[in-house]
Amino acid sequence: MVTDTRTGACFALKSIEKAKIRMYKIEEPIANEIKIQSMISHPNIIKLYYFYTDDRYLFLLMELASDGDLYKHVKS
């Protein structure tokens, strides 16, 4: 979880090692997922706000889902 210091809004920040993306040969599926997620706006789908990279990681700034994991909700 990260917080925007200007607004106080909370987000989920996911980081994925680029070496693992290359190792599992998933560059294209991840690029497609980012493209699709960037275009979707639906109340039942986590929103991807922004993505960026550095030398080692791909970072995804996403809507924070603080109500627990999906499995817990499906089970109940």
Higher pLDDT, 51 or 73: 51
> What b/e readout covers 14-24, taking b as 16+ CB neighbours within 10 angstroms?
eeeeeeebeee
Topology annotation, domain 2-75: Phosphorylase Kinase; domain 1 (3.30.200)
Quick: pLDDT tens for 13-71: 999 999 999 999 999 999 999 999 999 999 889 999 999 999 999 999 999 988 777 78
Q: Which residue has the tokens 């960037």?
A: 38
Examine the pLDDT at 74 and tell me if it is beyond 90.
no
Query: What SS3 class is residue 12?
Result: strand
Backbone dihedral region for residue 41 (phi beyond 0: left; psi -120 to 50: alpha; all else: beta): beta
Per residue, what are the HEC states of 52-72?
EECCCEEEEEEECCCCCCHHH
Domain ranges of the chain: 2-75
Residue 67 pLDDT: 79
Residue 65 pLDDT: 87
Residue 2 pLDDT: 97
Record the pTM: 0.83
